[in-house]
Structure 1
Amino acid sequence: MPADPPALRPARVPDGGLYEGRRTLRRVPADWTDRPYDRFELVPQGRVIGAEVRGVDLSRPLDPALRAELNRALLEWKVLFFRGQHLEPAAQRDFARNWGELETNPLLDRGSSAEVVRFDKGGDAAPTFENVWHADVTFRERPALGAVLQIREAPPVGGDTMWADMAAAYDNLSDEIKERIDGATAVHDFLPGFARFFGPERLAPMQEVFPPVEHPVVRTHPETGRKLLFVNTSFTTHLTGMPRRESDELLRQLVQQAHVPEYQVRFRWQAGDVAFWDNRATQHYAVDDYAPHRRVAERVAIAGDRPY
């Protein structure tokens, strides 16, 4: 007779914990038809997210066909990288305007115009508040559609930015979690993300400008139709109508999904590089590992629609 297997002590993984093993990695919707790009070369940087676009000069106006092809690439890869563009702020704004009205953000340092946000970090500069997984301005009723970021000065090492695909994050939730969040909403507020760095004198006047808003926990992408996990560490305070402890536990599980490397791409910047990302479909994280060196970037954001 075969010997009994050796006995093991009792052990369990906490409910809702992350798991190891194969994950579902779908870059595009199941019914999406992949087609070649005719106007540029596209070089994937990750399995589901991130691609470098070669052969496009962003300082020149986009004709309708090129704009359409870049938009398709954005939908398919969620963040696009353009090396060595060295755009003037006006050209950066003009490129972003191909996707709609530009957004202003009175909470952040202004660049050469109201639409340009400037991040000047490192050395004796104020501490960074981008090294946390987040989507931009989800505390607005209409969070940004996307953003165009250019690095003006890159540190000799470090200062990378990472992006996570929140469709992949949703796809890999358990069926039990998906049922719990189906139709749920969450409250988003600017204060948690900014109160760590700014005092009441600066933030109090903004409370009426940016009151808390509710968004679906799972939003639908308006162009691809994919379901996207739409909560983040910086601005999501709680799930609506749920006891605080239950909300905190569930929200903790949900925001952890952005941390999975299989859903991510990481970009090493050089001065003059540009990234254009879909803020509806991604979260991002600016790695704060370059002090005492400087990292200077300028961002232009595109106003979005109300999540549904």
Structure 2
Amino acid sequence: MSATDILERPRADYRRITVEPVTPVIGAEIGNVDLSQPLDPRTFNEIREAIRQYRVIFFRDQQLSNDALKAFGRNFGPLTPAHPIAEGLEDHPEIWERTIDEYRVRRTHNDTLPPGRTPPRDYKGWHIDITFVANPNAYSILYGVEIPPYGGDTLFANLVEAYRGLSPQIQNLIDGLQAVHRTSGYDFGRERKPRRDGRATGPFVSLHPLVRVHPETGEKLLFLNPGTTSHIVGLKERESQALLDLLYGEVTRPEYQVRFHWRPKSLVVWDNQAVAHAGPIDYAHFELPRAVRRITTAGELPKGPDGFTSRPLEGDLFNVLG
């Protein structure tokens, strides 16, 4: 679905929720729903339709306990552990709480890379969640717990539009390529403590198609991660880096983006199979308290246009909690 498709396509007949697009390409505000209560099938189907159309959706003024957050997330599928490397909350292992202090620590580890790795280009934190595993999560859900009055915004980009914006010649070039994704320098730089659940903490390395076919819509999209995608298989190093830089530039073009300004009790759901994000984008200058909680739902092995299916090269799959 292109931006033109969204503009020309008749808006869905939403009867249970309100849907207000934020941009023509990506993002919509959803209202008239209380996510702390169980959702009837018709209401949830409208929420799913909004995600298919706008890729990322925003809810305001949602009072959610940890149990209510998880109950809402299960509408999208089985929940994963909080993260392949980091642990979740002790009483809620599906929930990953991030504070601004963790981003400040991240800056101190930016130069800590495993042997043979060169520092990635600075693309201001843009990424798709956990692509260093072979089966990244399908959906990501982020809830604002402690939100300052300003700063800490998150950007989201439509990866389908980023692919469609390329010339047909470049599309043909990349449709059959694969790229290696590794745990990042930040992950290597952190002390990996044993997990309470006994899961391995990495390192993780996976081989993915450079172009992914969306498992629900069949659309092609760019599938790469600054700082995690190390190289394109079969290309010389300078060729690989030049092509990755070109594609990163497309992913981060402003016309494919929406910017979300957080307020307390805001909740965001995005299709991690079709959306890249960056945030909090100003953490290097940020001093105010900020905390968010994230849950993710199980995803499948990505497939490319040529039928190539992602596979792990090192480390386990991102399996759901048993």
Q: Note if 1:56 corresponds to 2:38.
A: no
Equivalent in 216, 226, 248 of residue 223 of structure 1: 216
In 2 relative to 1, CA 193–27 (structure 1 residues): closer, same or farther, beyond 3 Å? Answer: farther
Distance 1:124-1:118 versus aligned 2 partners, 3 A rule: closer
Contact 1:27–1:77 (8 Å) recurs in 2: no
Equivalence for 2:77: 100
Q: 1:135 to 1:27 in 2, by over 3 A?
A: farther
Query: 2:105 corresponds to which residue?
Result: 126
Which residue of structure 1 lines up, in the alignment, with residue 152 of structure 2? Answer: 159
Normalised by the length of structure 1, the TM-score is 0.84
Name the SS of the counterpart of 2:130 in structure 1.
Answer: coil
Note if contact 2:85-2:202 (Cα within 8 Å) is conserved in structure 1. no
Residue in 2 aligned with 1:46? 23
Q: Aligned partners of 2:147 and 2:172: how far apart in 1? A: 44
The CA deviation string for residues 244-287 of structure 1, in whole angstroms up to 9 with x for no partner, is 11111101111111221110000110111000000000000001
Q: Equivalent residue of 1:81, what SS? A: strand
Partner Cα distance (2:179, 2:103) in 1:
37
Of 292, 297, 303, the residue aligned with 1:302 is 297
Within the candidate set 251, 269, 292, 2:287 is matched to: 292
User: d(CA) in 1 for partners of 2:192 and 2:290?
Assistant: 27
User: Does 1:269 pair with 2:246?
Assistant: no
The 2-side partners of 1:304 and 1:266 are apart by 25
1:28 positional shift: 5.0
- 1:63-212 to structure 2, matched below 5 A, reads 63-104=40-81, 105-108=83-86, 110-111=88-89, 112-122=91-101, 126-127=105-106, 131-195=124-188, 197-199=189-191, 206-207=201-202, 210=204, 212=205
Change (3 A) 1:49 1:90: same
| Unaligned stretches of 5+ residues in structure 1 | 1-23
Percent of paired sites with the same residue: 36
> Alpha carbon RMSD of aligned pairs, Å?
2.5
Residue identity in the other structure for 1:226: E
The 8 Å contact of residues 123 and 293 in structure 1, kept in 2 or not, is answered as: no
Distance across 1 between alignment mates of 2:126 and 2:173: 23
Unaligned runs of 5+ in 2: 111-122, 195-199, 304-322
Equivalent residues of 1:109, 1:118 under 8 A apart: no
Of 126-135 and 260-269, the range deviating more from structure 2? 126-135
TM-score between the two structures when normalised by the length of structure 2: 0.80
- State the structure with more CA Rg: 1
SS of alignment partner, residue 105 of structure 2: coil
* Structure 2 counterpart of 1:247: 240
Greater Cα shift, 162-171 or 173-182: 173-182
Q: In the TM superposition, what is the alpha-carbon distance from 1:68 to its structure 2 partner?
A: 1.3
Query: 1:193/1:258 Cα in 2 relative to 1: closer, same or farther (>3 Å)?
Result: farther
CA distance in 1, matches of 2:74, 2:153: 26
